[in-house]
Amino acid sequence: MRMTVIGTGYVGVVHAACMADIGHDVLGVDIDEERIAALTEGKAPIYEPGLNELLVRTVASGRLRFSTYVTEAARFARLHFVCVGTPQMPGGEAADVRYVDAVIDGMAPHLRPGSLIVGKSTVPVGTTARLGARLRAVAAHSEIAWNPEFLREGFAVADTRRPERIVVGVESRRAEATLREIYKPMLISGVPFFSTDPATAELVKVASNAFLATKISFINAMAEVCDSAGADVVALAEAVGEDSRIGHRFLQPGLGFGGSCFPKDIRAFAARAEELGAGEAISFLHQVDEINTRQRRRTVDLARNLVGGSFSGRRVAVLGAAFKPESDDVRDSPALDVASAISREGAEVRVHDPEAVDNARPRFPELHYTLDVPKACEDADLVLHLTAWPEYRKISPAELGPLVRDRKILDARNTLDTAPWQSAGWSVNALGRPPMTGSYAA
């Protein structure tokens, strides 16, 4: 089937490439000419495992091509996926949907009769109804539906090929039939398909993110209690997660969530609920947000204590810049937030990350960057483990020990095996856990 994908950011480029890979003819559209030129050559604009190879294959096949012209998109197909960003409103907490609005307004006069626009962007509930009215005023025989994405950065290609569920909010049987045809290979393989009204589909996305964010903040709130009680939050989380009603996923205590979705989505959800008169029902999301932000401050406070109460004149190594592993995304990165705060207090901060250094450098130019872990840790008074890259679990504490000034590491992600660090004479610290001190004989 022919389709277009409007917006070639994180969601759009993955969706376009995966749809082409399962046999559809896809035109990706974006106003960024440099990005379109790179995509046309099969070069991914982001780091995402498997994406670059997928782009090369689908572009070479002829099933995927790119353009900067919305009018070309309107002529190319009757099915259009909208994947543009919905960032937080400047100076507020609501979602900024101007880019979604611009796509509808720009395409509507040029649409072929019977066109279907399908939104994938995360939007406030009621957006489909509002945009549907605007669309019908210009293109009476076209309609709009919503099909939220549930991609995890680092697993986006796999999540698109084999999603846990497909949710569509439609107003006609024709729209549902079209989307069932689009996703037919997934449905044949047994992926659940939920067809509902647009408002419910919009809410499924934000409700899912709000629940997961709440689970993360809950275990981090427990970490604060553990600090006060002298308990171990990692052991607590392992035991609590064995309850089948709760489970282990998203119950990892640490530095908290970041990125382009959870923080802005829970704020936008709360803001929209206020507009609808239901703000009190989800007022707890403000506390979820505050707990998450507080984890960053608590990490800085613990790091400061570990270097004697002041960062002035200290050298701190930071392992991780991306907001999560297997990504080069540094938007609202907890790791860089902590690193920058420590730098502002007078420390020399050296940051290592396998993929995100180029994205981090222009946003936080005051930090020092390196692609070499030993170089980052050289003469460090403290090592901070802030992004849970698998590479960091392979570090040899014994080999790293002679390079640092003081064998102290703060595992803010609680993913390191502490035993070899202690055996190599390191003092291992983490939020919600008693200090773990090793012994080392020179």
| Active-site residue list | 261
Return the H-helix or E-strand segment holding 77. none
Scan for tokens 């998203």, then name that residue.
250
In angstroms, the Cα distances linking 158 to 22, 89, 154 are 13, 31, 9
d(CA 328, CA 317): 19
Nearest 10 degrees: Cα torsion 55, 58, 62, 68: -40
Scan for tokens 């809950």, then name that residue.
218
In this structure, what DSSP letter does residue 394 have? G
Q: Is 150 exposed, middle or buried (CB count within 10 Å of its CB: 0-12, 13-18, 19+)?
A: middle
| Joined tokens for residue 368 | 């020092």
Scan for tokens 């998450």, then name that residue.
292
Query: Longest C-alpha distance within the chain, in Å?
Result: 80
Scan for tokens 């002041």, then name that residue.
310
Length of the chain: 442
d(CA 120, CA 204): 12
d(CA 84, CA 11): 8
| Joined tokens for residue 22 | 């399962």
Scan for tokens 């609501």, then name that residue.
94
| Joined tokens for residue 263 | 């923080």
